[in-house]
Structure formats: structure tokens, C-alpha cells
Amino acid sequence: FEYDLLVLNGLVVTHDETGEFDIAVKGSKIAKVVPRGSLGEVKSKKTIDAKGGVVMPGGVDAHVHLDEPALFGKGESADNYETGTRSAICGGTTTLITFAPQRKTEPSLLAALEATHARARDNCYSDYSFHLICSNAGPLAISEFSALRQAGISSLKIYMTYEALQLADSEILDVLFEARKQKIVTMIHAENGAIIDWTIKKLEEKNLFAPKYHVTSHPPVAEIEATYRAISLSSFIDVPILIVHVSSPSAAKHISDAQKKGLPVYAETCPQYLFLTRKDLDKPGFEGAKCVCSPPPREGEQDHEVIWRGLENGTFTVLSSDHCPFLYDNSEIGKKSVISAEYPNGHFKYIPNGCPGVETRMALALSANRLKLQKFVEVTSTNAAKLYGLYPRKGALIPGESDADMTIWYAEKEMQEFELKNEMLHHNVDYTPYEGRTLKQWPRYTVLRGEVVWARDDGGLVGKKGFGEFLKRDVSSLAGSVSQEGWDVERF
């Protein structure tokens, strides 16, 4: 056989090109991308007839929480590396960047990295890497940044809220300063923890505990203030940052203003900020808990509109899931731990923050039919690969360079609209916030390094646990500091 896989008759879409191409795969790599019908007589072990459906580089989801210990003191992850990466490939995502969380009581980042490797190793269906969560920015952690780079880690996440994770501004400066030297991209959870804690107390004084008060307790100003502060601190140090999970239009405005000044400020948004609103938390009983995440979903269609436009115009670099899985109903964690004699309908402040969504991210966004296809590829795959040092191995279909990772969709006439149900999904969570939504598309095939791992009409999940590989990452090919010179405090 000359090839291991042919993908014929598709409309191939990458971030910078669309065309009727046939694709040939040799081993784990893309070997050829040629005009339809021009491969000639070749022998291949396997052939997929893409039948006029869209073929794109496999999805890259750069914000996923799996198997994290109960860091916020609010329950354990419902998904581990096995179930989370399984869910990913069934939804068209072939690469995940998950989090390796450091506890405040654990001074070493390398120890946190090792512990996370142990949880992931041999368990993954998709390829994977980690962002280190730095919650203890002491001298040991800072001194380990260069070793992290050697270990293939080129990004960190830090928090401006959550007692268990939050860094003070001086610690944020320490992190950013060393990140600049080591060419590390810092992701920032930008919410003002003090505003949130103060507002929670005020709501408690009025005996307001229902899930919907989660939104009230995370007002837009908490996100807006912290976003502006994060931009200010990073521009002082002259180092690239990415603001994660942006939900507020005014925060997005601060980000686009910074970008217009030429600052290396990147941003991420998530499906929950395109499809959910505060009304989704205002449901009878405890139901609203299913849509509790931070920042929370905002007011309504006007906000969704601004977020969509931000994806179109480049304010947002990536559309990630922020898959953060908790069980709704479980005897030990989840529902029962927040419903008590004292709070018979639960208390919003004890609801774990986060929604599942690694499997629905791509289908939801594509079904909305809102982004041009090349832009869709850019924000769901290519940009994450570029920003986090995986391009062009991931996020592209470049012969000889890219892994043969592909998400293959249905031709329009071959696809029936359907109603999403949690029982269709492959995560280990007992709900989806998108239950009952009508979807127009779902991946027909997912291909990872030349192997078909998902075939919706032909076996469903056919990938194997343990096939997923750890990806050593290089420096970002998108983000650099503005000045090439070293940083000197005296210049200010």
C-alpha cells in the first residue's frame, strides 16, 4: 500500500484555504492534499468517502479540566483522563490541553506536573498536553519555569479569584516577569475575588441562596475590573497573556482596545457565553445549578451577539469548552453536598463552578451557522495550536508536517437535524446544559494520527484508550513580547 488512509470527495477547509481536495495519509502524517480526483490510481489500506462534507483539521480544545482534585473545596471532577478524552474525540476534538493544578500548600510546579502525568498516562483517547496552574508563586515555583519549558510546557494559568488559587498582584508580576524570560504564555482567570466575596455576604444577609444568585454574586464589574488590571500588569511587564473564558462585552472591549494598541493580549470565549443566559440559572428547585460557571452566563441575546462578533473580528483568539465536569446528582458529591437541612434548595456558593462541554463545543458552534468555515477552523483548532506551541503539527493539514488529525462533517443533505440528549454523550457527567437543543451537525468521523477514532454511523467510538499521546509543546508562534530587549525597571 502506498497510503494508509485516503479521505476523498470532501470540501477541505483550513484556517487559510477552502477547496475540493483529496487527502492522502501515510502513517500518522498528512502526505498529500491535492485537487479532487487527481491522486490517480493509488492503493490505500483504508478509504473514507467524505461525500461533499467538510473536512477540517481536528479540533484543539485548550481549556479542559480533568481529574482535578477538589481544588475549590467543592467536589471532584466527574471526568478523568479516560472519560474526558473519550468524550472529546466523539465530538471532533483530537487534542486537549488540560490543567495540571498546583495546590497552594505545594511549592513545586514540577511535582504538580508529575502527578498530572501519572493521572493521564496510558488513559487517553485523544492527544494531550497540560497548562500548569500556578497557585503558589513562591521562589521554588518561579525557579522551575525553565524546567517546565524543557518538559514541553509553554503555558501557565493563574487566578485572580478563588481563595484556594488566587494570586496577589505582586505575585502576578513575579509570574509574568519570569514568563517573559522563559517565553511562556500566561492564561489569566480575570475576576475580582473581593467583589465576589463581598457580594456573596450581602446576598446571604438577605437569605438569598437559589442557584440564580450565582450570577448576581459575579457581577460584570468583577470581570471588567480584573480584565483591565490583568492587561495593565501584562503591558507593564510587556509579556503576552490570554484572558480565559470572557463573558462580558465590556471586558471584551478592554481586550480589543489593548489589541488595537499593539499589546500581545489574547482572549478566549466559550460556548456557555454564546448559548446560555442568566435565565438558564433561574429554574425551579436546584435545576439552575447545571449552568453555574464563572464568569457566569450574562443577560441575553445582546451579549451573545457581542461575543459572536468578537470571534468574527479576532478579539477572541480561541473558542474553548472550559469543560469542568461535576455530577448533578451524586450521593457523596454534587447535589447532596449542597442541599442540606440548613439550605433545602441548596446554596449557590457551594455549587461547583463549571459546565461540561468538551464533546458539544464544535457541533454547537457549527450548528449555529454563524462563523465562516475558515474562521470556525481558526478559533476551534488552528489558533489554539499556534498560541500554545503546537502548530503546524496540530491545527493544520500541511503535507509532511501536520499529524493526520481530521474532523469530517456530513454533507448538508446527508444530515438530519436532531435534538441533543445527554445520553448521546460520552462524558461521565449526568447532564448537559444544552439538553434538548436542536443541532444541525455532528462529526461523522474523527481521525487522530491517521486512525479513525470516531465513526458515527459505523461503530461510534472506535478509538482506543491509551492511543492518545502527550504532546511536548514549543514556544507560541502567535504571541511574543513587543520589545525584543530585556525588561528594565529603570525605563519607567
What gap in Å lies between CA 243 and CA 476, rounded to an integer? 16
Instruction: Name the binder of 278 from ligand URP, Zn ion, none, CB < 5-8 A by kind.
Output: none
Nearer Cβ to ligand URP, position 33 or 160? 160
Segment 245-274, which members bind Zn ion (CB under 5 A)? none
Of these, 85, 186, 247, 353, which contacts ligand URP (CB under 6 A)? 353
Check binding of 189 to Zn ion (CB under 5 A).
yes
Of these, 15, 32, 86, 189, which contacts ligand URP (CB under 6 A)? 189
Q: Is 96 in a helix, a strand, or coil?
A: strand
Burial code of 464-480, b = ≥16 C-beta within 10 A, e = fewer?
eeebbbebebeebebbb
What gap in Å lies between CA 370 and CA 255, rounded to an integer? 22
Burial code of 196-210, b = ≥16 C-beta within 10 A, e = fewer?
beebbeebeeeeebb
Check binding of 79 to ligand URP (CB under 6 A).
no
Nearer Cβ to ligand URP, position 33 or 222? 222
Kindly state the smallest distance separating residue 294's Cβ from ligand URP, in Å.
Answer: 4
Of these, 137, 293, 420, 453, which contacts ligand URP (CB under 6 A)? 293
Kindly state the smallest distance separating residue 352's Cβ from ligand URP, in Å.
Answer: 8
What gap in Å lies between CA 126 and CA 95, rounded to an integer? 6
What gap in Å lies between CA 374 and CA 382, rounded to an integer? 10
x/- map, 240-269, ligand URP, by CB under 6 A: -----x------------------------
Residue 262's contacts (CB-CB under 8 Å, 6 or more residues apart) are 482
x/- map, 269-308, Zn ion, by CB under 5 A: --------------------------------x--x----
Segment 333-392, which members bind Zn ion (CB under 5 A)? none
Of these, 354, 392, 433, 463, which contacts ligand URP (CB under 6 A)? 354
Kindly state the smallest distance separating residue 460's Cβ from Zn ion, in Å.
Answer: 28
Angle between helices 249-260 and 220-237 (to 10 degrees): 20
Give Cα 50 distance to the centre of its chain: 27
Kindly state the smallest distance separating residue 210's Cβ from ligand URP, in Å.
Answer: 18
Query: In sequence order, what E strands does 126-261 have?
Result: 127-133, 155-159, 185-189, 241-243
- Residue 283 in grid coordinates: 429554574
Closest by CA position to 354, among listed 224, 162, 103? 162
- Residue 344 in grid coordinates: 433545602
Check binding of 223 to ligand URP (CB under 6 A).
no
What gap in Å lies between CA 227 and CA 8, rounded to an integer? 46
x/- map, 145-184, ligand URP, by CB under 6 A: ----------------------------------------
Kindly state the smallest distance separating residue 226's Cβ from ligand URP, in Å.
Answer: 12
Angle at alpha carbon of residue 303, lines to 298 and 306, rounded to 5°: 145
Instruction: Name the binder of 304 from Zn ion, ligand URP, none, CB < 5-8 A by kind.
Output: Zn ion
Per-residue HEC secondary structure of 13-44 comes to: EECCEEEEEEEEEECCEEEEEEECCCCCCCCE
Of these, 322, 359, 405, 451, which contacts Zn ion (CB under 5 A)? 322
Q: Which part of the chain contacts Zn ion (CB under 5 A), choosing from 15-23, 80-88, 186-194, 279-287?
A: 186-194
Of these, 77, 93, 294, 383, which contacts ligand URP (CB under 6 A)? 294
Instruction: Name the binder of 353 from ligand URP, Zn ion, none, CB < 5-8 A by kind.
Output: ligand URP
Helices (H), 261-351: 272-275, 301-313, 335-338
- Residue 449 in grid coordinates: 494520527
Residues that bind ligand URP (CB under 6 A): 65, 189, 245, 293-294, 322, 324, 353-354
Residues that bind Zn ion (CB under 5 A): 189, 301, 304, 322
